[in-house]
Chain A
Amino acid sequence: MALAKGAPESGAVANPATPQVIAFWRDERKRGMIAQVVVVAALLGFIWFLLRNFLIKQEMSGAPPLSLYFLQDVAGFQLSFSLIPLTLDSPIGRVIFAGALNTLIAAFFAGIIATFLGLLVGIARLSKNWLISHIAATYIEIIRNIPLLLQLVFWYGGVLTALPKPKDSISLLDVVFLNIKGLFLPKPILQEGVGLFFIAIAVAIGLAIFIARWARKRQMATGQQFPTIIVNTALIILLPAFVFVLLHDPIGWEFPEKGAFNFKGGLTVQPEMTALIVGIGISTAAYVAEIVRAGIISVSHGQSEASHALGLKSSWTLRLVVLPQALRVIIPPMISQYLNVVKNSTLAGFIGYADLFAVIGTSQNQTGRAVECVVILMVFYLTISLIISTIMNVYNKRAALIER
Chain B
Amino acid sequence: MSTQAQANPSGADLAISDEVMIGLTGVNKWYGQFHVLKDIDLTVLKGERIVICGPSGSGKSTLIRCINRLEEHQRGRIVVDGIELTHDLKNIEKVRREVGMVFQHFNLFPHLTVLDNLTLAPIWVKKVPKKEAEEVAMHYLKRVKIPEQAGKFPGQLSGGQQQRVAIARSLCMSPKVMLFDEPTSALDPEMIKEVLDVMIELARSGMTMICVTHEMGFARTVANRVIFMDKGEIIEQNEPEEFFNNPKSDRTKLFLSQILHH
Beyond A223-B130, A310-B173, A320-B120: 10 further Cβ-contacts under 8 Å? A224-B127, A306-B108, A307-B109, A309-B70, A310-B169, A310-B170, A311-B125, A313-B89, A328-B111, A404-B153
How many A residues, CB 8 Å from partner? 28
B100 surroundings in chain A (CB, below 8 A): 309-310
- Chain A 296-314, CB-CB to B under 8 Å as 1, else 0, gives 0000101101111111110
B89 surroundings in chain A (CB, below 8 A): 313
Closest to A309 in B: B101
A221 surroundings in chain B (CB, below 8 A): 129-131
Which B residues are closer than 8 A to A by beta carbons? 68, 70, 89, 93, 96-97, 99-101, 103, 105, 107-112, 120-121, 123-132, 153, 155-156, 166, 169-170, 173
Question: Are B111 and A309 within 8 A (Cβ)?
Answer: no
Question: Are B70 and A305 within 8 A (Cβ)?
Answer: yes
7 smallest beta-carbon distances between A and B, as pairs: A306-B107, A310-B121, A220-B130, A309-B101, A302-B107, A223-B127, A311-B97
Chain B: minimal CB distance from A226 (Å) = 11
Which residues of A (383-404) have their CB < 8 Å from a CB of B?
402-404
Question: Are B109 and A311 within 8 A (Cβ)?
Answer: no
- Chain A 217-232, CB-CB to B under 8 Å as 1, else 0, gives 0011111110000000
Question: Are A309 and B155 within 8 A (Cβ)?
Answer: no
Bound-complex Cα distance A404 to B108 (A): 14
Bound-complex Cα distance A30 to B123 (A): 57
Bound-complex Cα distance A311 to B89 (A): 11
Question: Are A223 and B128 within 8 A (Cβ)?
Answer: yes
A325 surroundings in chain B (CB, below 8 A): 109-111
B155 surroundings in chain A (CB, below 8 A): 403-404
Check A324 for interface membership: any CB of B closer than 8 A. yes
The count of A-to-B residue pairs whose CB atoms sit within 8 angstroms is 84
Chain B: minimal CB distance from A265 (Å) = 54
Bound-complex Cα distance A44 to B105 (A): 55
Bound-complex Cα distance A66 to B188 (A): 71
Question: Are A311 and B129 within 8 A (Cβ)?
Answer: no
Closest to B69 in A: A308
Known contacts: A302-B103, A320-B120, A404-B156. The answer to whether A310 contacts B111 by CB under 8 A is no
Bound-complex Cα distance A302 to B103 (A): 8
Residue from B70, B110, B123, B169 in contact with A219 in the complex, judged by beta carbons closer than 8 Å: B123
Question: Are A312 and B111 within 8 A (Cβ)?
Answer: no
Question: Are A403 and B110 within 8 A (Cβ)?
Answer: yes
Check A316 for interface membership: any CB of B closer than 8 A. yes
Chain A: minimal CB distance from B22 (Å) = 15
Known contacts: A220-B123, A403-B110, A404-B156. The answer to whether A309 contacts B128 by CB under 8 A is no
Question: Are B129 and A306 within 8 A (Cβ)?
Answer: no
A307 surroundings in chain B (CB, below 8 A): 109
Check A321 for interface membership: any CB of B closer than 8 A. yes
Question: Are B125 and A222 within 8 A (Cβ)?
Answer: no
Question: Are B109 and A303 within 8 A (Cβ)?
Answer: yes
A–B Cβ pairs within 8 angstroms, 30 of them: A219-B123, A219-B127, A219-B130, A220-B123, A220-B130, A221-B130, A223-B129, A223-B132, A224-B127, A302-B103, A302-B107, A305-B70, A305-B103, A305-B107, A306-B108, A306-B109, A308-B70, A308-B96, A309-B70, A309-B96, A310-B125, A310-B169, A310-B170, A312-B121, A312-B125, A325-B109, A402-B112, A403-B155, A404-B153, A404-B155
A222 surroundings in chain B (CB, below 8 A): 129
Closest to B154 in A: A403
B170 surroundings in chain A (CB, below 8 A): 309-310
Bound-complex Cα distance A305 to B69 (A): 10
B123 surroundings in chain A (CB, below 8 A): 219-220, 223
Bound-complex Cα distance A222 to B131 (A): 9
A303 surroundings in chain B (CB, below 8 A): 107, 109
Bound-complex Cα distance A81 to B105 (A): 59
Which residues of A (101-148) have their CB < 8 Å from a CB of B?
none
Chain A: minimal CB distance from B83 (Å) = 13
Closest to A399 in B: B111
Chain B: minimal CB distance from A212 (Å) = 16
B111 surroundings in chain A (CB, below 8 A): 324-325, 328, 402-403
Residue from A225, A308, A309 in contact with B127 in the complex, judged by beta carbons closer than 8 Å: A225
Question: Are A321 and B70 within 8 A (Cβ)?
Answer: no
Closest to B101 in A: A309
